[in-house]
Structure 1
Amino acid sequence: MAYVDQQMSGNKITALIIVAILHVVIGYALVSGLASEAYTKVKEITAAVKIEEEKPPEEPPPPPPKNDTPPPPVVAPPPPISFNAPAPQVQTVNEAPPLPPPPSPVALPPPPAAPPAPRFQPKGAAPKGNPGNWATSNDYPSRALREEREGTTGFRVTVGPDGKVTDCQITRSSGSPDLDEATCANVRRRARFTPASDGDGNPASGSYSNSIRWVIPKD
């Protein structure tokens, strides 16, 4: 048995003895009638004996917990990074611009309806008589005759529905204005035409083209 247990048992025995003595004294006092005197004695004995309450022994502090965590590994610092690498070369490529989108097809309007076939074959104006009689040697301009100027004049006339010349235009000059003027003047005066006709056989305006050759008459 440990020392602490022996000490605790001794205290308990002492307390039990004192309690037993008190019981004996109180019983004696009751029997002999000396209760008050016995109470005084018990009080003195109780005051003389001080029963100390046993305190449990203090337990030693627990040992510090063991740290099973391994120490952190030693990490070496990373090597320095070198930025002396050559810069990438940028090559410029000339690309052709994108082709424009093809034009959208345009719907063509439908062709016009063909006109109805004419009932008659249209005809142009036709001269009546011999066109060589429209200008004669007697119509030769006197100045051109004296200067012995010759030439050929081309003309075109407009013929009305009545067969008469309504207009005359020079299409090729002879080189002499007086010969050209004499050409249209004589054609207007002497030319007569069968008028042109349309698809219905009705008279219509038309045109006629020809030329006159001016030649100095020989004696």
Structure 2
Amino acid sequence: MLVAIALGHLGALYLLGKLLAPDLTGGIEREVVAAFSLEAPPRPPPPPPPENEPEPDEGAQGSPGKEAIPQPVTAPEPEIALPRPSPAPQASSTGAADRSGARESGNGTGAAGGGPGTGSGNRGGGRGGVAVTRPVHISGRIDDARDYPVPPGGRQARRGTEVIVRVIVGRDGRARDCSVYRASPDPQADAITCRLVEERLRFRPAQDAAGNAVAAPFYWRQRWF
């Protein structure tokens, strides 16, 4: 009760002070508040930035090891020599000889030596070497429009077209074995061209490396204007 009565008297005095001397009571309030005010402690300074640390040394490469060279090992020679079977011939033979195969000499069949037979090689007494020059057209012409019949639609239907035929020029300079290499729109005219090339045209035959005349192909182009 005494404490309550004392607090009541203090409150009454404070109110009278506010009414009669407001400046005095305001200063007392500020001092009391300042005495009991709590300020936040200052923040600690930030830590310094970390220094760049050097990367750890991974170590240098070690020296390579020495190359190992295996000791040579040879198979021992057999005490008993093994017999070596003779190779079988590549082609069968009906003769009575005890050997056969491609040998330069011997009494078997199939010897691969030089001979007087004919053939297309660079040696031998026969004809038929490889051509090193081409046949050359030297005479004969196919330029008469009357040799070709009028196609359906008139001659203008064939105008501006062409046919290429292939022939074999023999050693006598004549063309044989004609065939159509590139056809025209008129099959009848292509067949007539083959016949006229074999009948009318003459050629200088091709030659081999020795200057002998040999058969060789030749291509003839026939155009219609």
TM-score interval w.r.t. the shorter chain? 0.3 to 0.5
The two structures have a TM-score, normalised by structure 2, of 0.38
- Which structure: greater helix fraction? 1
The two structures have a TM-score, normalised by structure 1, of 0.39
